[in-house]
Amino acid sequence: MRPVYLDNNATTRVDPAVVAEMLPFFTEQFGNASSMHAFGAQVGGALKTARRRLQDLLGAEFDHEIVYTSGGTESDNMAILSALETQGARNEVITSTVEHPAVLALCDWLERHRGVTVHRIPVDAKGRLDVEAYRKALGPKTAIVSIMWANNETGTVFPVERLAEMAHEAGALFHTDAVQAVGKLPIDLKSTEIDMLSLSGHKLHGPKGIGALYVRKGVRLRPMIRGGHQERGRRAGTENAPAIIGLGKAAELARLHMADEQTRVKALRDRLEQGLLQRIGNSFVTGDVENRLPNTANVAFEFIEGEAILLLLNRAGIAASSGSACTSGSLEPSHVLRAMKVPYTAAHGAIRFSFSRENGDADVDRVLDAMPAIIADLRSLSPFWKDKRPGAATDAAFNPTYA
Ligand SMILES: *Cc1c(COP(=O)(O)O)cnc(C)c1O
C-alpha cells in the first residue's frame, strides 16, 4: 500500500531536483568557498546563485540581508538574543502564547535566568492574536517583538506587517518566525517593516539542518558564533555549501509552485476537511479558517485521544500529527490548542493534516475512507462518548464551527 504523507508541517521530502543540485557539491565541487583557487571559485558562484534565489522568494532588497544558519531554531534564537544585546537598556520581549518551542523555550529561559521580562500575548478561540493586549504591552522597554507569521499546528496567519509597524512606533525591533509561511504565502519583505525573519530548509522540500535569518539592512546583528569572516562575520564557520545550494534550489521551486499551493493544494485540504466534518459527528476545525495557510487542516474529534487516532491511521499507511505534545509522557494537549481554550475533550482528539505539492486526490480519498471507522471504533471504547449529543461537552465560551 502506498504511504500517504500528510505531515508536511513537521518536515517535507527533499525535492529530487534539490538533491540533484546538491550532489556535485559533495563530490567534484567540494572546495571551500573562501579558497583562492578554482575549487573555491566554483562553490562561491553556486553560493551566490543560492542567495539570489532565496532573496527572490523573500522579496529581500539586498543579498547580504540573508544570514545562513542551521535552521529555524537557530534563526529564532539568534534574532531574539541579538536584539537583547543591541537594543541598549530595553530588556523586554513580546511574543505570543502559540509560538514554536524555538521561541517559547528561549523566552522561558531568558525570563528565568537572564532577568528578561517576557510578555506572552494571548489568542482568542480561533487562534487570532489579541491586538489590543499587544498594543498595551509595547513600550519604551520593548527590545524585540517575536511573533510567528503562521502557526504550525493550526495554520492561522498573523497580521505581521501591521504588528511590525506597531513595534516600530514603540521603537522596538520586529522578528517573525516564518518557517511555516515561507513557500506557502507570497512574501515581499522590502515592502514591509519586518526587521528579521526566520526560515528553515526542511519545511519547503529542502535539506534539514539549513535555514536562514533575514536581517534588514541597517539592523545590527550580534553574532552567536564567532570565528571566521563567513556571512560577513555574523555566523562564523565554513559554509555548509551543499545544504545552502539545496536551500536555494528549494526556494526557486517554492516560488514556481506557489500558485499550485494556493489553488490545487488548498482545494485538497478543503475537500479533506469538508469530507471529514460531513462523515464524522462531533468534529470541528480549529484555527482561523478565514486566515489560514492553504495546506493545513487541524480537526478536533471529540471524546477520543489523538494518539490513538494516529496509531490507527499509521496502521492504514497514513501519516498525520496530533496537537498533543506528550513528549514528557504527560498527556497534556498542545499548548496552542490550550491557549485557544479548546475544551480538553476536543483538544485531546485534534489531528493536524498538512499537505504539500506532492499530495494528490488519492491521498484525500484514502483518509476519507479510513477515518470514519477509526473514529467510530475509538468512540465505542471511550467512557466519555456515551450518550453525547453534538456539541454536548463544548462549553459556551468556545464556539467551534461544526459541519
Ligand atoms: C519546524 C519549525 C521550527 C524549527 O525549525 P528547525 O529548522 O527544525 O529548527 C521553528 N518554527 C516553526 C513555526 C516551525 O514549524
- The answer to whether residue 31 sits within a structural domain is yes
How far is the centre of ligand 1, averaged over its atoms, from the C-alpha of 309 (Å)? 24
Q: 330 and 195 share a domain?
A: no
Q: 81 and 197 share a domain?
A: yes
User: Is residue 354 in contact with ligand 1, taking CB distance under 6 Å?
Assistant: no
Final residue in a domain of this structure, among 219, 234, 256: 256
User: Nearest-CA neighbor of 76 among 152, 218, 178, 151?
Assistant: 178
Contact 93, 80 (CB under 8 A): yes
Q: 202 and 327 share a domain?
A: no
Report pLDDT for 330.
57
Mean pLDDT confidence for 179-206:
98
Least-confidence region, from 119-133, 170-184, 229-243, 373-387: 373-387
Report pLDDT for 297.
98
pLDDT class of 400 with cuts at 50, 70, 90: low
Mean pLDDT confidence for 252-277:
97
How far is the centre of ligand 1, averaged over its atoms, from the C-alpha of 14 (Å)? 16
Q: 251 and 315 share a domain?
A: no
**Mind listing the pLDDT tens digit for each residue in 137-161?**
999 999 999 999 999 999 999 999 9
How far is the centre of ligand 1, averaged over its atoms, from the C-alpha of 100 (Å)? 7
Q: 68 and 138 share a domain?
A: yes
Mean pLDDT confidence for 321-332:
63
What is the domain-level CATH number for residue 366?
3.90.1150.10
User: Is residue 184 in contact with ligand 1, taking CB distance under 6 Å?
Assistant: no
What total of structural domains would you count in the chain?
2
Final residue in a domain of this structure, among 210, 238, 256: 256
User: Nearest-CA neighbor of 208 among 103, 77, 78, 71?
Assistant: 71
Residues β-bridged to residue 177:
198
User: Is residue 73 in contact with ligand 1, taking CB distance under 6 Å?
Assistant: yes
Which cell numbers in the block locate residue 68? 545562513
The catalytic residue positions are 326
Contact 314, 267 (CB under 8 A): no
Report pLDDT for 396.
44
CA 288 – CA 277 distance, rounded (Å): 16
How far is the centre of ligand 1, averaged over its atoms, from the C-alpha of 10 (Å)? 8
Report pLDDT for 333.
86
Q: Burial letters for 224-256: b for 16+ Cβ neighbours within 10 Å, e otherwise?
A: eeeeeebbeebbeeebbbbbbbbbbbbbbbbbe
User: Nearest-CA neighbor of 385 among 336, 345, 341?
Assistant: 345
329 has pLDDT over 90: no
CA 317 – CA 311 distance, rounded (Å): 10
Q: 282 and 242 share a domain?
A: no
pLDDT class of 359 with cuts at 50, 70, 90: very high
Q: 250 and 264 share a domain?
A: no
User: Is residue 99 in contact with ligand 1, taking CB distance under 6 Å?
Assistant: no
Which cell numbers in the block locate residue 317? 499507511
- The answer to whether residue 248 sits within a structural domain is yes
Q: 263 and 239 share a domain?
A: no
Mean pLDDT confidence for 296-320:
96
Mutate to test the pocket of ligand 1, among 12, 68, 69, 73 (most ligand atoms within 8 A of CB): 73
- The answer to whether residue 396 sits within a structural domain is no
User: Is residue 72 in contact with ligand 1, taking CB distance under 6 Å?
Assistant: yes
What is the domain-level CATH number for residue 51?
3.40.640.10
Mutate to test the pocket of ligand 1, among 153, 203, 293 (most ligand atoms within 8 A of CB): 203
Report pLDDT for 344.
87
User: Is residue 176 in contact with ligand 1, taking CB distance under 6 Å?
Assistant: no
pLDDT class of 324 with cuts at 50, 70, 90: low
Final residue in a domain of this structure, among 193, 222, 256: 256
Q: 223-231: which pairs have CB atoms within 8 A and are 24 or more residues apart?
A: 223/78, 223/82, 224/74, 224/77, 224/78, 224/81, 224/82, 228/34, 229/34, 230/34, 231/67, 231/68
Mutate to test the pocket of ligand 1, among 78, 152, 175, 208 (most ligand atoms within 8 A of CB): 152
Residue with cell 462518548: 385
Q: 221 and 354 share a domain?
A: no
Q: 37 and 156 share a domain?
A: yes
Residue with cell 521551486: 253
What is the value of pTM for the model shown? 0.95
Report pLDDT for 328.
46
- The answer to whether residue 54 sits within a structural domain is yes
Range of the domain at 329: 258-386
pLDDT class of 256 with cuts at 50, 70, 90: very high
Contact 10, 354 (CB under 8 A): yes
pLDDT class of 395 with cuts at 50, 70, 90: very low
Average pLDDT score, the chain: 93
Which cell numbers in the block locate residue 331? 498527556
Give the nearest ligand 1 atom to 200 CA: 7
Report pLDDT for 399.
54
Strand 4-5 relative to strand 318-319, pairing = parallel
With H, G, I as helix, E, B as strand and everything else as coil, classify residue 4: strand
**Mind listing the pLDDT tens digit for each residue in 24-81?**
999 999 999 889 898 899 899 999 999 999 999 999 999 999 999 999 999 999 999 9
CA 224 – CA 220 distance, rounded (Å): 13
**Mind listing the pLDDT tens digit for each residue in 89-147?**
999 999 999 999 999 999 999 999 999 999 999 999 999 999 999 999 999 999 999 99
CA 320 – CA 313 distance, rounded (Å): 8
**Mind listing the pLDDT tens digit for each residue in 199-229?**
999 999 999 999 999 999 999 999 999 999 9
Report pLDDT for 384.
79
Mean pLDDT confidence for 234-242:
96
DSSP letters along 310-353, please? HHHHHHTTEE-EES---TTS--PPPHHHHHTT--HHHHTTEEEE
Give the nearest ligand 1 atom to 203 CA: 1
- The answer to whether residue 227 sits within a structural domain is yes
Of all protein residues, whose CA lies closest to atom 3 belonging to ligand 1? Answer: 72
- Looking at the chain, how many residues does it have? 403
Report pLDDT for 337.
95
User: Is residue 129 in contact with ligand 1, taking CB distance under 6 Å?
Assistant: no
- The answer to whether residue 12 sits within a structural domain is no
Which cell numbers in the block locate residue 292? 489560514
User: What is the end-to-end Cα distance of the chain in Å, rounded?
Assistant: 31
Host H or E run for residue 213: strand 211-215
- The answer to whether residue 209 sits within a structural domain is yes
Q: 314 and 348 share a domain?
A: yes
With H, G, I as helix, E, B as strand and everything else as coil, classify residue 121: strand
389 has pLDDT over 80: no
Q: 197 and 338 share a domain?
A: no
Report pLDDT for 401.
52
- The answer to whether residue 5 sits within a structural domain is no
